[in-house]
Amino acid sequence: MTRNDPSQLLPGTLFLLILKSLGRGPLHGYAIAKRIKNASANGLEIEDGSLYPALNRMLVKGWLEAEWGTSENNRKARFYRLTPEGRKQLHAEAKEFEKLVKSIQLVMRTV
Amino acid sequence: MSTLREWVNRLRFFWNRARFDREMGDELQFHIETRAAELEERGVSKEDAMRRARNEFGSTQLAREDSREAWQFQWLEDLAMDLRVGFRMLWRSPGFSVLAILCLTLGIGANAAVFSWVEGILFRPYPAVAHQERLMALAGTARGETGATSLSWPDFLDLQKNCTLFDAFFVSKITGTSLNIGDRAERTIGSIVSANYFDAIGVHPMLGRGFVFGEDVGSAAHPVAVISYQLWQGRFKGDPQIIGKTQRLNGVLHTIIGVAPQGFYGTFVGWAMQFWVPASMEEIFEAGGYKLEDRNARWVEAYARLKPGVTAQQAQQELSAVASRLEKDYPLTNRGRSVQLWPLWATPFNNAGTLLPTLSITLVVVLCVLLIACANVGNLLLVRSFSRRHEMTVRAAIGAGRGRLLKQLLTEGLILSGLGAAGGLAVAYWSRHALVLLFPARAGVSMYLPGDLDWRVLALTAGVGLLSTLLLGLFPAVQTSKIDLATALKSEMAGVVGGQGKSWARSALVVLQVSLSFVLLVGTALLVQSLQKIRTTNPGFSTDRVLTTAVDLVSAGYDVPRAKTFQDELLDRVVALPGVESAAFARVTPLGYGAYSSSPIAVDGYNVPPEEEPVVEYNEVGPAYFATMGIPVVSGREFNRSDDESGALVAVVNETMVTQFWRGKNPLGQRVQVKGRWMTIVGVAKDSKYQSMRDQSKPFFYVPRRQNFAIGASLNIRTPLNPRTIGDELAREVQSLDGNLALYEVITLQEQVDRSTSPQKVAVTLLAVLGGLALSLAAIGLYGVMSYAVSQSTRELGLRMALGARASDLLRLVMVQGLALTAAGVLLGLAAALLLTRLLGTYLYRVSPHDPRAFVVALAVMLATAIAASCLPAWRATRIDPMRALRQE
């Protein structure tokens, strides 16, 4: 089983994955990592050490908001939520990503 | 837009750093523990689960640091780094650093000091007074007269009533009286004010009360006074029961109703006020009787404070409109008259007007000094940047961006000018009261010319600091930007005296320094010459062996008969004192405070041309006045004891008056009409100085005191004794005649002359100090450049020696180089000086701004300095050992 660190795949992918995973509602850091892992059928695993710096960078940019709440196991946890700005960013980056993937596929097929 | 949000977010983070760290810790802890719990659910033991979770996560420290970094400002980090490096660089070359900081301290300090004077004297001159930024001086104008006139009280009240754009109008007119303190009397200065004065300026007496509504109405109706803290402490020993006590001021008992707070000095630039009386007491302090209902009596000096948001222009428009209505309503008194607002720094009725030119010249001069200082430090930096070229090249080669290198250099400049600015502020703080020291002290009258280091001065100083940073950073930056990696890494060129291309920048700086100092030298020389001219001008009376003093009988409440008796008795006793040759009273002492009487005159046999009404000033003097003062009587006689009330009315005229009214013919026996009375001319006196040493010759005459009596008079004594010796004896005589009286300060007429020339002396002193500073900075600059040139061309000099050049040849080579720079600077300075010395305008007395002697003196001083500054480097050149110099690579 290969464990791919998405930050090493394509630049900006980590941001996109985090944004996408928050698209359906607020999550705490651990849940974000888990959701990405599960959704990719264990294909992508975010290194815990790079998750939090990325989250903080996105907070600075104003794409995310953080709030303390209670986790499913009844503990205090920090939940991240998309801001309208973040949602816009998600759409823009998703479109960009699709274009990129399509282009790469085209190259892979034709050349 | 998004960057703005980022900044806001970052700033928020900055304030909550501690909370961020705590929460980050909690969050990571939660992450690890949740993972551990998950592992436990799959059957891993508790300890194992925890350990595995930790291992999977990796370094929490790194995650925290990376996260924190997301929030921080990169440039702040870089700045901190640059500062650290910069300080280390400066620390490593302490000689350079100390010299550079010293130069900047002097340069910035001189600026900060003058800024603080300008702020404290011209812009915010009145400590404790509210809203000075909206305060303006109010004075009248009259068609056909230049400058400001005083206002009449009724006009002032009408302006106050009819203008709507102002918060407050108030009157503050300087006046004086004598206070007897111990066995000596002192002149005390105070203000006649409108009743709203203290309320309008927002100053509340610390004891008692200020004036109340209506106290400025009526003829001598409200004899009340507020005294200064200084007077309360000094004269009244801080008496806590002072309120309600009485004090005689100009002969009238005033009730003391208040003590002004400490640190309040009134509203007059130049002097600290000691008492305030309401306008209703005006006639007690000034000649001319009751004036509060006389629209033709102009004595009021006033201020007005604009409402917030009102511009000076709008305010002026409203005032002019009201004034022109008054002109229409009262054509007899107000025809051709209007009212004008003046900014505080140009107030026409106090010393702001006289100090403004001095301070503006000084400001220009200190800017020159700063430029010279910056050029010096720039030069030092340049020299260093050559020796650091290798370092910079290496840094550039290993990938430092040009911007990054530039930032490093600018940071070093910032450190230097920051330290210089700090030192400069210390200099300014120490010298904030220095201006007063330049003026001679007078007993009882306290000059008050405060520097004020408020936030505006601090901001301006910081601005100057930044400006010098830019200037400083510029020199090495220009140098660095020219670095060509390949050649620079390969070679470290050895220089050649003269000739080398790169030294043009340093040479240009020295030329600039020399030219600026030359301008200042010329200015100083002109002012010194002018002061000498003033000093050596014959005032027309003896300045040594004549003393002057006074006894103020007006303040003591004497009437005319008592005053006559007292003065006669005192005069007899004074003349009887051993060592006294003669003595005489006079209403006004030349070059003093007092104003002369003046009167329209008519002259027998002189047909007054139409439109001309000759008004001539005169002095009322006692018998033996001319002998005592040493004013020669060229024909006829002077006054004697028989020229009294019962004698024929007589007068003595001066020579200019003879020329003007009798066309030079002997006027003895002719008559002149003064205030409606005809007087026979019995003598002609030589011209002398009356109001100031800069007087042009003007018609003037004298009348006997007894025939034109006024109580107030000064006492002049011809004696070889010094003032202190005779002062005590005089004081005893006064006290024995009347125990309530006291004698004024006794001074020589020379002292009187010196005091009257103090503004010139202040200008000379300021310019000399700053000119000296500039010259020494320029000398340091020249010395630095020459030493560097010599040290960089050791090989070339050694080669010349080896080829047979003698020491004297090398000496000449280096000296010529130094003198060439100086010559270029002097030429540039000469051109600048020819343009600039005109600015000295009114300070020059009988000296042309292009006086060749001043230029020659400046040239000589400059050359001597240049020779001195190049001597040491030249001498060092001759000591080079050719063998060692040639071997050295």
d(CA B139, CA B147): 9
- Using a CB-CB cut-off of 8 Å, the residues of chain A touching B10 are 60
Contact A76 B33 (CB under 8 A): no
Q: Which of B12, B31, B52 to mutate to probe the A interface, most A CBs <10 Å? A: B31
Residue B475 lies inside a defined structural domain of this protein: yes
B306 and B450 belong to one structural domain: no
Contact A29 B5 (CB under 8 A): no
Contact A61 B57 (CB under 8 A): no
- Name the one residue in this structure whose structure tokens are 């403004």: B356
Contact A77 B30 (CB under 8 A): yes
Contact B9 A62 (CB under 8 A): yes
Q: Which domain-ending residue is among B307, B335, B363?
A: B335
B605 and B733 belong to one structural domain: yes
Pick the more confident residue, B739 or A10: B739
Beta bridge partners of B615: B600
Beta-sheet pairing, A64-70 with A76-82: antiparallel
Query: Does any CB of chain B come closer than 8 Å to the CB of residue A70?
Result: no
DSSP codes of every residue in A10-74: STTHHHHHHHHHTTTS-EEHHHHHHHHHHHTTTSB---HHHHHHHHHHHHHHTSEEEEEEE-TTS
**For residue B288, what are the contacts with CB-CB under 8 A and spacing of at least 6?**
B297, B299
Query: Does any CB of chain B come closer than 8 Å to the CB of residue A73?
Result: yes
pLDDT(B871) > 70: yes
Residue B393 lies inside a defined structural domain of this protein: yes
Residue B323, pLDDT score: 95
Query: Does any CB of chain B come closer than 8 Å to the CB of residue A49?
Result: yes
Dihedral of CA atoms B808, B814, B818, B821 in degrees, nearest 10, equals: 120
Task: Give the distance from residue A68's alpha carbon to the nearest chain B alpha carbon, in angstroms.
Answer: 9
d(CA B756, CA B206): 36
Dihedral of CA atoms B848, B852, B858, B861 in degrees, nearest 10, equals: -140
Helix locations, B93-220, DSSP H: 94-117, 153-162, 197-201
B840 and B738 belong to one structural domain: no
- Using a CB-CB cut-off of 8 Å, the residues of chain A touching B71 are 56, 60
Report residue B377 CA to chain centroid gap: 28
Q: Which domain-ending residue is among B691, B723, B749?
A: B749
Residue A1 lies inside a defined structural domain of this protein: no
- Name the one residue in this structure whose structure tokens are 């009259």: B142
For the four alpha carbons of A87, A89, A91 and A93, in that order, the dihedral sign comes to: negative
B457 and B582 belong to one structural domain: no
B200 and B65 belong to one structural domain: no
Closest of B526, B593, B633, B571 to residue B752, by C-alpha? B593
Q: Supply angle C-alpha B425, B426, B430, rounded to 5.
A: 115
Residue B87 lies inside a defined structural domain of this protein: no
d(CA B467, CA B471): 6
The per-residue b/e assignment along B634-646, b for 16 or more CB within 10 angstroms, e otherwise, is eebebbeeebeee
Residue B78 lies inside a defined structural domain of this protein: no
Averaged pLDDT, B823-833? 94
Neighbours of B348 (CB within 10 A): 17
> What DSSP state is assigned to residue B260?
P
Q: What is the pLDDT of residues B683-700, one digit of tens each?
A: 999 999 998 888 888 899
Q: What is the pLDDT of residues B643-702, one digit of tens each?
A: 999 999 999 999 999 998 888 888 999 999 988 899 999 999 999 999 888 888 889 999
- Name the one residue in this structure whose structure tokens are 């109580």: B711
Residue A16 lies inside a defined structural domain of this protein: yes
B502-506, B520-524, B570-574: which has the minimum mean pLDDT? B502-506
Residue B440, pLDDT score: 65
Averaged pLDDT, A56-85? 88
- Using a CB-CB cut-off of 8 Å, the residues of chain A touching B2 are 61-62, 85
Contact B59 A49 (CB under 8 A): yes
**For residue B726, what are the contacts with CB-CB under 8 A and spacing of at least 6?**
B547, B577, B579, B580, B717, B719, B746
Report residue B785 CA to chain centroid gap: 35
Cβ–Cβ under 8 Å, residues B212 and B196: no
B150 and B212 belong to one structural domain: yes
Task: Give the distance from residue A55's alpha carbon to the nearest chain B alpha carbon, in angstroms.
Answer: 8
**For residue A50, what are the contacts with CB-CB under 8 A and spacing of at least 6?**
A5, A7, A14, B63, B66
Dig out the tokens for A77 from the structure: 């946890």
The residue of chain A with its CA nearest to that of B13 is A60
d(CA B749, CA B754): 9
d(CA B314, CA B132): 18
Dig out the tokens for B119 from the structure: 């702020």
Dig out the tokens for B350 from the structure: 């106090």
Residues of the domain holding A73: 6-110
Residue B500, pLDDT score: 45
How many structural domains comprise chain B?
Answer: 4
- What's this model's pTM, rounded to 2 decimal places? 0.72
Query: Does any CB of chain B come closer than 8 Å to the CB of residue A60?
Result: yes
B695 and B801 belong to one structural domain: no
Q: What's the whole-number average pLDDT of chain B? A: 85
How many structural domains comprise chain A?
Answer: 1
Contact A50 B66 (CB under 8 A): yes
Residue A35 lies inside a defined structural domain of this protein: yes
Residue A21 lies inside a defined structural domain of this protein: yes
Closest of B171, B199, B206, B126 to residue B281, by C-alpha? B171
Contact B30 A48 (CB under 8 A): no
Burial of B581 (0-12, 13-18, 19+ CB in 10 A): middle
B326 and B381 belong to one structural domain: no
d(CA B599, CA B273): 32
Cβ–Cβ under 8 Å, residues B475 and B785: no
Report how far apart the first and last C-alpha atoms of chain A are (Å, whole number).
29
- Using a CB-CB cut-off of 8 Å, the residues of chain A touching B68 are 56
Averaged pLDDT, B79-100? 84
* CATH number, residue A42: 1.10.10.10
If phi > 0 it is left, if psi is from -120 to 50 it is alpha, else beta; for residue B460 that is alpha
B764 and B628 belong to one structural domain: no
B229 and B331 belong to one structural domain: yes
Contact A53 B69 (CB under 8 A): yes
Dig out the tokens for B43 from the structure: 């059957």
Residue of A49, A56, A61 lying closest to B62 (CB–CB): A49
Q: What is the pLDDT of residues B761-801, one digit of tens each?
A: 888 888 888 888 888 888 888 888 788 778 777 778 888 88
Residue A54 lies inside a defined structural domain of this protein: yes
Residues of the domain holding B21: 2-72
The residue of chain A with its CA nearest to that of B67 is A53
Q: What is the pLDDT of residues B312-359, one digit of tens each?
A: 999 999 999 999 999 999 998 898 899 999 999 989 888 887 788 888
Residue B826 lies inside a defined structural domain of this protein: yes
Residue of A49, A59, A68 lying closest to B9 (CB–CB): A59
Residue A30 lies inside a defined structural domain of this protein: yes
B155 and B260 belong to one structural domain: yes
Residue B495 lies inside a defined structural domain of this protein: no
Beta-sheet pairing, B615-621 with B700-704: parallel
Q: What is the pLDDT of residues B265-301, one digit of tens each?
A: 999 988 889 999 999 999 988 877 899 999 988 999 9
Confidence grade of residue B21 (pLDDT, cut at 50, 70, 90)? confident
Phi, psi of A85 (to 5 degrees): -60, -45
Q: Which domain-ending residue is among B749, B767, B794?
A: B749
Dihedral of CA atoms B421, B427, B428, B432 in degrees, nearest 10, equals: 170
SS (H, E, C) B521-544: HHHHHHHHHHHHHHHHCCCCCCCC
Residue of A56, A75, A76 lying closest to B67 (CB–CB): A56
Dig out the tokens for B309 from the structure: 């948001």
d(CA B619, CA B585): 11
B273 and B381 belong to one structural domain: no
Q: Which of B27, B62, B74 to mutate to probe the A interface, most A CBs <10 Å? A: B27
Averaged pLDDT, B710-737? 90
Helix locations, B837-881, DSSP H: 852-878
Cβ–Cβ under 8 Å, residues A36 and A55: no
Query: Does any CB of chain B come closer than 8 Å to the CB of residue A100?
Result: no
d(CA B568, CA B715): 11
Beta bridge partners of B168: B305
